[in-house]
């Protein structure tokens, strides 16, 4: 029997602003859509936090035996600056700066995104559609919206009439905004003057001569509005109403609000049963962001090459750090917090490695069944990973006490304890045992690296920088980072 039948999952639905029991549309199956990255630069740790939050959701639902279709798109067209509405297309801008084809920019950063997600041991989604691969579907929705009276054309561009929509629907219900309050004081941008109301958003934009990413349409050679791609791709692969839609908190408005409006106006039904929003990763108390430069890149974290960091951290420690906070809480990134997580993670791993040394007896001094259900209850409660981790630490503490002969456990309970610890740490949290291969292998490897560090120091002392750089670069190639500090050189594995 599937595990989910015995678990009562409660999800916090951003639309109703409360926890609700989770009932998928089709029993045993879950459709989930998560907004993917806009691929014009390397993803930063903030972006990674959102994607890892949903990797946890994906993994837990799969662990419970649900058949999950997880769709996460790649935004490779249409997402303009200023909330996707006006200004430059960042992909085209990057292409001009780097003297690349826009599609080369898209490819480069899509590959970087995939490599980064793989380093974090995040599972690939079931379908990863692109905006440029779904132009026909997007045009079809624009046509439908015009027919329904919610879309209007002006000078080759098509806009969504928010005021008309608000007459018979509630625009702003996800973000808790009232249309009347949305009167902006910002200056009218050129394109906005084409709109009936400043709050209207673009469904299709006529391309300016320099805008080379363009497609033919009934209205002009142009490109789709940013919000449209997610409506097109979620509907295509998950249906007109599906179970879960996720994304970062900052996408609630306007992106997700506009998705709801487009879907309700064209299909006459609410597109999503549960809206889930992941909170922000901050740096120095401010949101990590691509545009302000207030961010840390995964590569900097893995190499330790950023002034904020005193050392390098593995992807699994970074992930553990993030899961020690609930996905709906703001989390501030810092070297000290990461170091604390690293210690905690190592304690968990040490406990797991001790399992083999434990001898069993008649009775158990910890009620394993209750402890195990507490682990599930934590995850059932809107994926409360910090509470789950607290229970895993309790398990680790018990293992350590067993090792010292201070507690007892029966053979069946030991098996259950071990299986549950492994299932939650590796399958659900998706962490990796970086000490795997045993302490002996790790010792040999670190001995060999220390020797290379010594040779590199000698080369540097002899001003043979070609050799010293080769040692560092070649080690980097195979995933071993050297970091030079005040107290000598340290290394980390990724
Ligand atoms: P983008 O590529 O800008 O569309 O962002 C990709 C995803 O990362 C979106 O779901 C954003 O909400 C999310 N995101 C952006 N900045 C942060 C941050 N500082 N912390 C967490 N998630 C973020
Ligand atoms: Zn989206």
Instruction: State residue 257's pLDDT score.
Output: 97
Distance 50 CA to ligand 1 centre (A): 6
CA angle in degrees (0–180, nearest 5) for 15-16-22? 95
pLDDT exceeds cutoff 80 at 487: no
Q: In the predicted model, is pLDDT for residue 84 greater than 80?
A: no
Mutate to test the pocket of ligand 1, among 38, 47, 244, 247 (most ligand atoms within 8 A of CB): 47
DSSP class of 289: -
Separation CA 123–CA 69 (nearest Å): 12
Least confident span in 87-96, 144-153, 379-388, 412-421: 87-96
The CATH number assigned to the domain with range 3-278 reads 3.40.50.620
| Percentage of the chain modeled with pLDDT above 90 | 82
The residues pairing with 400 across neighbouring beta strands, listed in sequence order, are none
Q: What predicted TM-score, i.e. pTM, was given to this entire model? A: 0.89
Q: From ligand 1's centre to the CA of 31, what distance in Å?
A: 21
Closest approach atom of ligand 1 to CA 43: 2
- Cα–Cα distance measured from residue 374 to residue 382, given in angstroms and rounded to the nearest whole number: 14
State the CB neighbour count (10 A cutoff) for residue 479.
11
- How many angstroms separate the Cα of 281 from the Cα of each of 20, 225, 288, 341? 25, 27, 6, 16
Residue nearest to atom 5 of ligand 1 (CA): 37
pLDDT computed for residue 185 by the predictor: 45
Residues of the chain with CATH 3.40.50.620: 3-278
Give the dihedral sign, CA 39/44/46/52. Answer: positive
Q: What is the pLDDT of residue 184?
A: 53
**Band (182; pLDDT cuts 50, 70, 90):** confident
**Phi and psi dihedrals of 224, rounded to 5?**
-75, 155
Residues of the chain with CATH 1.10.730: 282-428
Query: Which residue among 248, 279, 281, 291 is best mutated to probe the pocket of ligand 1, counting the most ligand atoms within 8 A of its Cβ?
Result: 248
Write down the pLDDT at residue 440: 62
Mean pLDDT of the chain: 93
Ligand closest in space to the Cα of 260: 2
Pocket of ligand 1 (CB under 6 A): 35, 37-38, 46-47, 49-50, 247-248, 250-251, 280-281, 287-289
227 CA to centre of ligand 2 in angstroms: 6
Q: Structure tokens of 353? A: 């490695």
**Is the predicted pLDDT of residue 62 greater than 90, yes or no?**
yes
Residue nearest to atom 17 of ligand 1 (CA): 46
Indicate the CATH number of 282-428 among 1.10.150, 1.10.730, 1.20.1250, 3.30.460: 1.10.730
For the cut 70, the answer to whether the pLDDT of residue 439 exceeds it is no
- How far, in Å, is the centroid of ligand 1 from the Cα of 126? 21
Comparing 345 with 474, the larger pLDDT belongs to: 345
The pLDDT of residue 483 is: 82
Ligand 2 centre to CA of 389 (Å) is 30
Q: Which residue has the higher pLDDT, 93 or 180?
A: 93
* pLDDT value at 111 more than 80: yes
Query: How many A from CA of 256 to the centre of ligand 2?
Result: 7
pLDDT at res. 183 = 61
Q: Report pLDDT for 447.
A: 80
Q: Is the pLDDT of residue 186 over 60?
A: no
DSSP assignment, residue 274? E
Average pLDDT over residues 156-175: 96
- Give the atom of ligand 1 at the shortest distance from the alpha carbon of 34: 10
């Amino acid at each position: 029997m599937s595990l989910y039948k015995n678990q009562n999952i409660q999800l916090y639905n951003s639309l109703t602003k409360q926890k609700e029991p989770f009932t998928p549309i089709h029993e045993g199956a879950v459709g989930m859509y998560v907004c993917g990255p806009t691929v014009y630069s390397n993803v930063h740790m903030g972006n990674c936090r959102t994607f890892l939050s949903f990797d946890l959701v994906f993994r837990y639902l799969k662990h419970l035996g649900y058949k999950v279709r997880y769709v996460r798109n790649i935004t490779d067209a249409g997402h303009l600056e200023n909330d996707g509405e006006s200004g430059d297309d960042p992909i085209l801008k990057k292409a001009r700066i780097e003297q690349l084809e826009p599609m080369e920019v898209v490819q480069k950063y899509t590959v970087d995104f995939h490599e980064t997600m793989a380093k974090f041991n995040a599972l690939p989604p079931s379908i990863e559609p692109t905006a440029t691969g779904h132009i026909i579907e997007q045009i079809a929705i624009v046509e439908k919206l015009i027919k329904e009276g919610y879309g209007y054309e002006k000078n080759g561009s098509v806009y969504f009439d928010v005021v008309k929509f608000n007459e018979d629907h509630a625009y702003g219900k996800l973000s808790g905004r009232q249309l009347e309050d949305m009167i902006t004081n910002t200056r009218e941008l050129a394109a906005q003057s084409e709109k009936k109301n400043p709050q209207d958003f673009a469904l299709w934009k006529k391309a300016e001569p320099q805008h080379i990413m363009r497609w033919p349409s009934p209205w002009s050679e142009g490109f789709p509005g940013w919000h449209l791609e997610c409506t097109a791709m979620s509907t295509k692969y998950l249906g007109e109403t599906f179970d879960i839609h996720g994304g970062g908190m900052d996408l609630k408005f306007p992106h997700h609000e506009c998705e709801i409006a487009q879907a309700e106006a064209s299909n006459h039904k609410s597109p999503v049963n549960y809206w889930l929003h992941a909170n922000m990763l901050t740096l120095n108390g401010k949101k990590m962001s691509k545009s302000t430069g207030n961010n840390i890149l995964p590569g900097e974290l893995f190499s330790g090459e950023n002034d904020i960091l005193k050392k390098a951290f593995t992807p699994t420690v970074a992930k553990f750090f993030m899961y020690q906070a609930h996905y709906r809480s703001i989390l501030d990134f810092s070297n000290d917090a990461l170091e604390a997580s690293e210690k905690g993670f190592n304690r968990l791993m040490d406990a797991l490695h001790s399992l083999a040394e434990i001898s069993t007896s008649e009775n158990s001094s910890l009620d394993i069944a209750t402890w195990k259900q507490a682990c599930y209850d934590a995850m059932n409660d809107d994926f409360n990973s910090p509470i789950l981790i607290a229970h895993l630490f309790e398990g680790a503490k018990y293992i350590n006490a067993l090792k010292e002969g201070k507690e007892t456990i029966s053979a069946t309970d030991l098996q259950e304890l071990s299986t549950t610890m492994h299932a939650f740490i590796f399958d659900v949290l998706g962490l990796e045992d970086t000490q795997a291969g045993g302490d002996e292998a790790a010792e040999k490897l670190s001995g060999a690296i220390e020797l290379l560090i010594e040779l590199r120091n000698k080369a540097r002392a002899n001003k043979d920088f070609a050799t010293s750089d080769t040692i560092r670069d070649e080690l980097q190639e195979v995933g071993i980072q050297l970091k030079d500090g005040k107290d000598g050189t340290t290394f980390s594995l990724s």
